[in-house]
């Protein structure tokens, strides 16, 4: 999969991509992440890409031309989805991640400052995603979240694909508790069933715990 990130701050991403699962996905050539610095399309010596909002008010707006030029530089006439990160977008979830997993190439557009020019959103952006009901300074952190969620699902990246399939949210529920050695930690015991070797019972226990935790913490998921 190719992920093109359009950003004013490409340097933000370097440590994130050089560790853990994103690093493995890139090394195994399952994922390629390209960075396009929106300022390279500013068209002026000062590399300025923002301007005052029409109608007045606080905050600056990212100008449309550098955004459109950088999108078209990537698309070159091809239909590549353009995802814009904004608190106004639909809330990102595992189903949406899987929707994009089947795309060979996507564009992640990171806004900054107050907003980007609405015409880019109306005519060039194909989807708007939010990572939660709070406001960040820009789309870089949401883009990293999307890259991470996609990287770990690429074929051959996780050593055990079952591990991804039993994650929270994969089946619409939160995950069950996990334990490792020692079985007795100063009197804090691992549940007997997990030591029993009876895989049918273990599966039932995990399913039951998954349901209980979802009921307690996110009953809205059960309604869905
Ligand atoms: N940009 C700023 N805040 C955001 C959020 N909560 N989700 C996605 N993009 C954002």
Task: Tell me the pLDDT tens digit for each residue of 176-186.
Answer: 999 999 999 99
Ligand 1: lining residues by beta carbon, under 6 Å? 85-87, 130-132, 134-136, 139, 142
Question: Which homologous superfamily is 2-151 in?
Answer: SPOUT methyltransferase, trefoil knot domain (3.40.1280.10)
> How much is the average pLDDT of 75-88?
97
How many Å lie between the centroid of ligand 1 and the Cα of residue 152? 22
How many Å lie between the centroid of ligand 1 and the Cα of residue 40? 23
The pLDDT assigned to 104 comes to 98
How many Å lie between the centroid of ligand 1 and the Cα of residue 137? 8
Flag the least confident range among 10-14, 128-132, 156-160. Answer: 156-160
**Protein residue closest via CA to atom 2 of ligand 1:** 136
Give yes or no for residue 188 having a pLDDT over 90: yes
Give the domain ranges of the chain. 2-151, 169-223
**Protein residue closest via CA to atom 7 of ligand 1:** 130
Give yes or no for residue 11 having a pLDDT over 80: yes
Give yes or no for residue 71 having a pLDDT over 80: yes
How many Å lie between the centroid of ligand 1 and the Cα of residue 136? 5
> How much is the average pLDDT of 186-205?
98
Query: Which pLDDT band, with edges at 50, 70 and 90, does 112 fall under?
Result: confident
The pLDDT assigned to 163 comes to 77
The CATH number of domain 169-223, selected from 3.30.2130.30, 1.20.1250.20, 1.10.1270.20, 2.60.40.10: 1.10.1270.20
How many Å lie between the centroid of ligand 1 and the Cα of residue 130? 5
How many Å lie between the centroid of ligand 1 and the Cα of residue 58? 18
Query: Which pLDDT band, with edges at 50, 70 and 90, does 8 fall under?
Result: very high
Residue 115: CA count within 13 A, CB half-sphere: 14
For a pLDDT cut of 90, what percent of the chain falls above it? 92
pTM of the model: 0.94
SS3 for the chain, per residue?
Answer: CEEEEEECCHHHHHHHHCCHHHHHHHHCCCCEEEEEEHHHHCCCCCCCCEECCCCCCCCCEECHHHHHHHHHHHHCCCCCCEEEEEEEEEECCHHHHHHHHCCCEEEEECCECCEECHHHHHHCCCEEEECCCCCCCECHHHHHHHHHHHHCCCCCCCCCHHHHHCCCCCCCCCCCCCCCCCCEECCEECCHHHHCCCHHHHHHHHHHHHHHHHHHHCHHHHHC
**Protein residue closest via CA to atom 5 of ligand 1:** 87
Give yes or no for residue 161 having a pLDDT over 80: no
The pLDDT assigned to 81 comes to 98
Report the nearest atom of ligand 1 relative to the CA of 137: 2
For a pLDDT cut of 70, what percent of the chain falls above it? 100
Query: Which pLDDT band, with edges at 50, 70 and 90, does 90 fall under?
Result: very high
Mutate to test the pocket of ligand 1, among 8, 128, 133, 136 (most ligand atoms within 8 A of CB): 136
Report the nearest atom of ligand 1 relative to the CA of 85: 9
> How much is the average pLDDT of 147-176?
90
């Amino acid at each position: 999969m190719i992920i093109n990130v359009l950003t004013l701050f490409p340097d933000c991403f370097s440590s994130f991509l050089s560790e853990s699962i994103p690093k493995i996905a890139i090394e195994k050539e399952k994922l390629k992440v390209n960075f396009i610095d929106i300022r390279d399309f500013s068209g002026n010596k000062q590399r300025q890409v923002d301007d005052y909002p029409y109608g007045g008010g606080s905050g600056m707006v990212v100008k449309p031309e550098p955004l459109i030029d950088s999108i078209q530089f990537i698309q070159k006439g091809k239909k590549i989805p353009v995802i814009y990160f904004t608190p106004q977008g639909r809330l990102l979830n595992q189903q949406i991640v899987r929707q994009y997993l089947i795309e060979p190439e996507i564009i992640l557009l990171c806004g900054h400052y107050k907003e980007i020019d609405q015409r880019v959103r109306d005519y060039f952006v194909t989807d708007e995603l939010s990572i939660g009901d709070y406001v960040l300074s820009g789309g870089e952190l949401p883009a990293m979240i999307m890259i991470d969620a996609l990287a770990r699902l690429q074929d051959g990246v996780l050593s055990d694909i079952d591990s991804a399939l039993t994650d929270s949210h994969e089946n619409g529920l939160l995950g069950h508790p996990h334990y490792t050695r020692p079985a007795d930690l100063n009197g804090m015991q691992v549940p007997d069933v997990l030591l029993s070797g009876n895989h049918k019972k273990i599966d039932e226990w995990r399913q039951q715990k998954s349901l209980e935790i979802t009921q307690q913490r996110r009953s809205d998921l059960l309604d869905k």
